[in-house]
Chains A and B, each alone.
Chain A
Amino acid sequence: MHEAPKTLSSYREELDKALDDSFLRKTLDTFAVAYKANREAVFQQVNERDLIAKIAAAKDNAAQHMDELYEQFKREAEKRGVVVHRAATAAEANEIIARIAKENDVKKVVKSKSMTAEETQLNLRLEQDGLIVDETDLGEWIIQLRHEGPSHMVMPAIHLSRYQVADDFSKATGVKQDSDIQRLVKVARVQLRRKFIAADMGISGANFAVAETGAIATVTNEGNARMVTTLPRVHVALVGLDKLIPTLDEALNALLVLPRNATAQMLTSYVSWMDGAGPCASSPTGKKIMHVVFLDNGRSALAKDPLFSQVLRCVRCGACANVCPVFRLVGGHKMGYIYIGAIGLILTYFFHGRERAKVLAQNCVGCEACKNICAGGIDLPRLIREIRSRLNEEEGTPAEAALLSAVMKNRKMFHSLLKFAKFAQLPSTGGSQFQRHLPAIFLGKHGYKALPAIAAKSFRDRWKSIKPNLPNPRYRVALFAGCAQDFVYPEQLEACVKLLAAHNVDVEFPLEQSCCGLPLEMMGQRKTSIEVARQNIRAFDAGKYDAIITLCASCGSHLKHSYPHILEGTSGEAQRVNAFAGKIMDFSSFVHDVLGLTADDFVNKGEKVTYHASCHLCRGLGVKDAPRDLIRAAGEYLPSEEEEVCCGFGGTYSMKFPEISAQLLEKKLANVEATGATRLVVDCPGCIMQLRGGAEKKGSPLKVTHISELLAENMKR
């Protein structure tokens, strides 16, 4: 069993090791690419968004009625001869099950896969009583033989090669086993059949517990859950209280998404519905001895939390790991404790405590890939940020976050520090990617990319001289600059102003605006982040403009989607917040959707251009077509493989986990280079910093620019 990381430095050492595991890297790469395509194909037949919304609503409703559903389930199940228990803690659940085993004189136990039993570490408890416990899911059996925990919720042994499995099976059977996968599977067929036959008790989990009929359902491909629940005379199901739902309809609806999301299947080979203790020839009474043990372990408290109750929507499909670029690099053992992936970072905090969660919770690059595919529509990236903020509240703020907070509270100080590059003298902060001269200790970690210099003259200082003066403008917009473009890449904003002015759009630049606050959020600095947000809203008189345009996708998605959340109930001016958020629009959408620019507006010189879809644009703001259409209008668009996968920047993430960031960057650049394009355009200065720095470092001639620059350079005059 692996432990959760205790310190950032020990965690980074472990991550380094995982990055060196070339088998793991290759397997997860292949899987990630195949999964994406297969998932898309199986969702074509159904309305994905609609189904996910239904699951979310049904699970929310169930969580609010958890106690009633439990009572109803218990009544129905007891009518059918089942004994129903409720355990407040993991230890209590384990005790109940150990007692059932003892009362029934059980010696041998077979188990089908249950993440809940992993959560309670049930096997360890049963083994204390001298019971022989065998896992029967193939993947679970393999990791049991190796004394490891699962590295994925659905594919527990995905980190292992056939050769490792052959070794383990050779040891387990005392016979040398061939590494052919089909053969290995049959070794399990023979070995496990014997275990099924010999067992006195079967332990299963459940994917659903249906209150109306007292039925539980298991969803499997192998069919081991059917064996486990049929052959032995005793059956115990260990079920999280979050699995309770009112009726079969909710379960059938969820079944349209769960297998599609988990393994890109329409449906798994088997779904078994069990209500009541039916006939069982191996039982002395001729009837199955059946118990259902519900586990609370913090779930009923979670149900009452206005924000985190959505965690209970999780159906354990594992998709949030499947699409996570960090999981893809380091695997599940490094991307969770017992529960894996984005949901793992969150559940560890609630089920296994703050100590185990505090380092893990930092390892999210914030790319939002998981949010888009979650079967329960859980806002995973946001919840991870919220956990960081709670951890800071509980544990005190780390020095660098406190310093960043202190500086950002005062816009003038923050900006003058940036201007004079005095930030360079500060220790590690969220702003340090702007440093011209890095403190020596950071050089090693940032060796993989060249860092940009602070611009000689910031955009705000250039503004007076470039402000357009249009007598009868078509539109009136305001620019939200964000720190990176204001102080490092003012030319990107200038290109935007030039293009807009040429199309008779008046632009204003309110000087009181500051950092959007996202770096503060990423570091869990909620209080300062709220102050900064308020300051920005005050700086813009939203009513005056047709749109507030930003060229930074990260700022854009934060301003548009997070401001209403973080300011909820704190400012008493919801209307103003919503008016502000409602006006936020990214540059490409404004130029494409509002101005309606097309190929006719550009001189297309046939420049070969490829694209990186910034996480916060394609997922955060849901903008996909506008930038690609614009590239086609101004050049020759050469799509790149995995265009929507994160470049690894992630703001402060690239400082905390530089090794992972570097790997993501390398992959991205390899895909970009494979297109043969000479220019890469992006909608976000953070990505540009990462990608341009990476290209420079490699000595690549690739030109990395903002899409605004491509368009301004090629516009017809």
Chain B
Amino acid sequence: MSNVNPELVELFRTKAAVVGAKVVEAASMAEAARYVADVCASKDPCELLADEPDAEQGPLGPNKVPTRVKRIVAAPDLDAAAFGALAGDCEAKGFACIREGLRKHLAGIDVGVAQAVLGVADSGTCMVNSDDEETRLATMISEISVLILHKSAIRKDLPSIAADLRAQQSTGKPSYTAFITGPSRTADIERVSAIGVHGPLELHIILLED
């Protein structure tokens, strides 16, 4: 018997959409990798929000800063096989695919990929283990953040994930766990909602079959 609860998956999908996340499905990691490469190919070029000496610069973007010519996809926490598949797809399209050294690209990257430990259906939230700085940066400095979530890892509500969160914090090592619910947003000017004040402009969630 599959331990996927279709009702929770449906609820998660609805709630994540409400907060502006794009939810898609993939049957396998390979399919997810293809989706990531396609997303990167179809997006506008990434803006360089700060200086990056070695980056080749394209024309100015909407915010009057130069854009990046060679697109970058970062996926620090994928296992070797999955990273290999993604790197292959990226290479075919002429993108760089990296898993470390994100601090060299704090001016911004195109797509950051990370795996969600679990999802919370009630609020459309993903819990991401970002103890590793590279993973954390991938979800922060990318214009499009892609999170991969196993359908079977979707829970009902926040109180029901207490044990998982506790486990994150009880490994004997320092930890950094993020709940991510939609893209970076603000309503600080006249209460008008605006996306992407600091972090990702878009959040995509790939629901993966087990």
**Chain A residues packing against B (C-beta within 8 Å):** 27, 30-31, 34, 45, 80-81, 136-139, 142, 155-158, 160-162, 165, 181-182, 184-190, 192-194, 196-197, 210, 212-213, 215, 221-224, 226-227, 230-231, 247-249, 252-253, 255-256, 263, 265-282, 288
Instruction: Give me the interface of B with A, judged by CB distance under 8 Å.
Output: 15, 18-19, 47, 49-50, 62-63, 65, 103, 106-108, 120, 122-125, 131-133, 136-137, 140, 157-159, 161-162, 165-166, 168-170, 173-192, 194, 196-200
Query: Are A231 and B181 interface neighbours, CB within 8 A?
Result: no
- Which chain B residues lie closer than 8 Å to A158 at the CB level? 188, 191
**Complex CA distance for A418 and B137, rounded to whole angstroms:** 73
**Closest beta carbon of chain B to A679's beta carbon, Å:** 37
- The answer for the CA separation of A288 and B174 in the assembled complex, in Å, is 10
State A261–B179 Cα separation when bound (angstroms). 19
Please report the number of residue pairs spanning A and B whose Cβ atoms sit closer than 8 angstroms. Answer: 199
Partner of B50, one of A197, A230, A256, A288: A197
Chain A nearest CB: distance from B131 CB in Å? 6
What are the residues of chain A within 8 A of B189 when measuring CB–CB? 138-139, 142, 157, 160, 162, 165, 181, 184-185
What is the distance, in angstroms, from A392's C-beta to the closest C-beta of chain B? 39
The reply to whether B175 and A275 form a contact with Cβ atoms under 8 Å apart is yes
Tell which of A31, A136, A249, A281 touches B198, judged by Cβ atoms closer than 8 Å: A136
Q: Point out the residues of chain B lying under 8 angstroms from A194, CB to CB.
A: 49-50
Given contacts A255-B158, A272-B178, contact A230 B191 (CB under 8 A): no
Q: List 5 A-B contacts (CB under 8 A).
A: A138-B197, A215-B175, A222-B185, A268-B181, A276-B173
- A186–B63 CB distance below 8 A: yes
Complex Cα spacing A379 to B108, Å: 47
> Smallest distance from the beta carbon of A198 to chain B beta carbons, Å?
9
Listed from nearest, the 6 A-B pairs whose CB atoms lie closest are A276-B174, A223-B199, A139-B188, A213-B169, A271-B179, A278-B174
Does the CB pair B106–A197 fall under 8 Å?
Answer: yes
- Whole-angstrom distance from the CB of B172 to the nearest CB of chain A? 8
Which residues of chain B come closer than 8 Å to A193, judged between CB atoms? 49-50, 106-108, 198
Q: Is B162 in contact with A274, judged by CB distance below 8 angstroms?
A: no
- Asked if A281 contacts B103 (CB within 8 A), the reply is yes
B120 to chain A, nearest CB (A): 8
Report the separation of the CA atoms of residues A265 and B176 in the bound assembly, to the nearest whole angstrom.
23
Task: Specify which of A185, A271, A272, A273 lies most central, judged by the most chain B CB atoms within 10 Å of its CB.
Answer: A185
Given the known interface contacts A138-B186, A263-B187, A276-B175, the answer about A189 and B196 at a Cβ–Cβ threshold of 8 Å is: yes
Judge whether A223 and B162 touch: CB under 8 Å. Answer: no
CA of A162 to CA of B188, assembled, Å? 10
Which residue of B is nearest A266, CB measured?
B123
Partner of B176, one of A136, A255, A272: A272
Which B residue's beta carbon lies closest to that of A136? B198
Chain B residues with CB below 8 A from A230, complex form: 133, 136-137, 140, 176
Q: Contact check, A189 vs B197: say whether CB atoms are below 8 A apart.
A: yes
A158–B157 Cα distance when bound, in Å, is: 31
Q: Is the interface of A mostly helix, strand, loop or mixed?
A: mixed
| Residue in chain B with minimal CB distance to A272 | B178
CA distance A197 to B49 in the complex (A): 10
Contacts of B173 in A (CB 8 A): 80, 276, 278
CB-nearest residue of chain A to B157: A256
Query: In whole angstroms, what is the CA distance A210 to B168 when docked?
Result: 13
B174 engages A277 (CB within 8 Å):
yes
A222 touching B186, Cβ below 8 Å: yes
A residues less than 8 Å from B179 (CB atoms): 267, 270-273
6 other contacts beyond A221-B185, A266-B124, A278-B131, with CB at 8 A cut-off? A182-B194, A190-B49, A190-B63, A221-B186, A273-B168, A281-B133
Counting chain B CB atoms within 10 Å of each CB, the highest count among A136, A187, A193, A268 belongs to: A193
Least distance between B181 CB and chain A CB atoms (Å): 5
Docked-complex contact A192 and B174, CB < 8 angstroms: no
- With a CB–CB cut-off of 8 A, which chain A residues contact B15? 266
Contacts of B178 in A (CB 8 A): 226, 270-273
* Residue pair B166, A186 in contact (C-beta under 8 Å): no
CA distance A456 to B184 in the complex (A): 66
Task: Name the B residues within 8 Å of A187 (CB-CB).
Answer: 63
A273 with B175, Cβ < 8 A, contacts A230-B140, A279-B133 known: yes
Q: How far is the CB of A159 from chain B (nearest CB, A)?
A: 10
Among A184, A221, A267, contact of B125 (Cβ-Cβ < 8 Å):
A267
CA distance A277 to B178 in the complex (A): 16
Point out the residue from A182, A186, A227 that lies within 8 Å of B140, measured CB to CB: A227
A270–B180 CB distance below 8 A: yes
> What residue of chain A has the Cβ atom nearest to residue B102's Cβ?
A281
Known A-B contacts A80-B174, A222-B198, A227-B198; the reply to A189 vs B63 at CB < 8 A is: yes
CB atoms of A252 and B190 under 8 A apart: no
- Within 8 Å CB of B166, what residues of A? 212-213, 248
Q: When the two chains form the complex, which single residue of A156, A186, A227 contacts B196, counting CB atoms closer than 8 Å?
A: A186
- CB < 8 Å: which of A165, A252, A265 contacts B162? A252
Docked Cα-Cα span, A498 to B188, in Å, equals 56
